[in-house]
Structure 1
Amino acid sequence: MTASGPLLLLVEDEPQMRRFLRVALEGGGYRYLEAATGQEGLAMAAQHRPDLILLDLGLPDMDGLDLMTRLREWARTPVIILSARGQEADKIGALDVGADDYLTKPFGTGELLARIRVALRHADTGDVQDPVFSLGRWRVDLARRQVLVEGREIHLTPIEYRLFTTLIRHAGKVVTQRQLLKEVWGGVAGAQPLYLRVYMAQLRHKLEEDPSRPRYLRTEPGVGYRLRTED
């Protein structure tokens, strides 16, 4: 990586495609890192904080959409999907889970570099989040989906984890019931505020020292919930 431009992460398992992308990025003056699996890609994204990610959907250890979903739990890094899947439904699915652009294979070098320039121009550089969140006795590794309380790993159900990480993303701010229902349950018909009360009680039981008098997972009566960050 002798270039001095923005740092890009390639998550692609096909050696031939990696060679093509390597030549294209070197020609465009970009620095780059390579990962051949989804897990490796997540680890490198957390460690190196690339300016943009080029992501193949057909990875050997996980679907690219699953990687995209996990990445969006803690990072706003621009992502361009590179895929042989050209159906409209595939493109919509990728964009819905947070991808910024979608390129169908095969594609030309010129188009790829143009898409990269556009994504970098539109990147929200002020919204870079650390993949490790610490508060009081808590340590949450968002890249590994690991929740520790005083060094002890706590098991959260998928919904508990989505609720907790949604509050982390908005730490210190009030999140309305409507917003939580949308982000945690995805607008599923029938999702009601009662669900929030039940799952918030479960989170407090697992994470707070005194669940009946929560220090951090606070209720804002009639509005929603807030993850308190000040002691």
Structure 2
Amino acid sequence: MTDRKGELAANLAKVENRIAAACAAAGRDRAEVTLIVVTKTYPASDVRILSELGVRHVAENRDQDAAPKAAACSDLPLTWHFVGQLQTNKVRSVVGYADLVQSVDRSKLVTALSKEAVRQEREVGCLIQVALDAGESRRGERGGVAPGGVEELADLVAKAPGLRLDGLMTVAPLTGEYAGRQQAAFERLMDLSTDLRRAHPAANMVSAGMSADLEEAVAAGATHVRVGTAVLGVRPRLG
């Protein structure tokens, strides 16, 4: 356990240095960027260590892993983010622990989240997941709404009881015009965020960038970066 704490502390320090350097290079205050540690496939014991080390935001992408982990760590001062593609049959469970759902990408999901948030008397923060590799009318391969659908979906979230529109999220596309051009992709997301904030000024969260491209995300203006491997190590292979 002690060795693991030392390992995580060292990795966190490296990531912190990367974020600080990226902020300095972009002329941004370090306080403008929040680190979210993606703990998928790692045990609750790692989440406890991260909390001891000062981490306050953690993310999961599979409800079957996240629900028991969140329950085991319910005494910790953590904000839980759900970042995976979310099926409506998992909404009841996810609303039970997630403070924010970063992968809102269709009206059916908004309706289900709203109904459950009201039932559980919770307020759930929502980010619209944008698929920059999608055409104007279809969803991306890894979930997300096309840029042309952001406004309509955002308005739906903003009006939905129990939900709070917090901003936008994206995953750097592997195909299409932004493949291999992470910073351009994140700058496009920032343009969409500017448009969104004209109608919804409080929806100022921009979640972009992971272990490999957090510098590009910070340079573009992201407010939150989602880092897993660089903090926790290479994930064990799932059988």
Mark yes or no: TM-score above 0.5: no
Higher helix fraction (1 or 2): 2
Decide which structure has greater strand share. Answer: 1
TM-score (norm 1): 0.31
Q: TM-score, normalised by structure 2?
A: 0.30
Rg larger for: 1
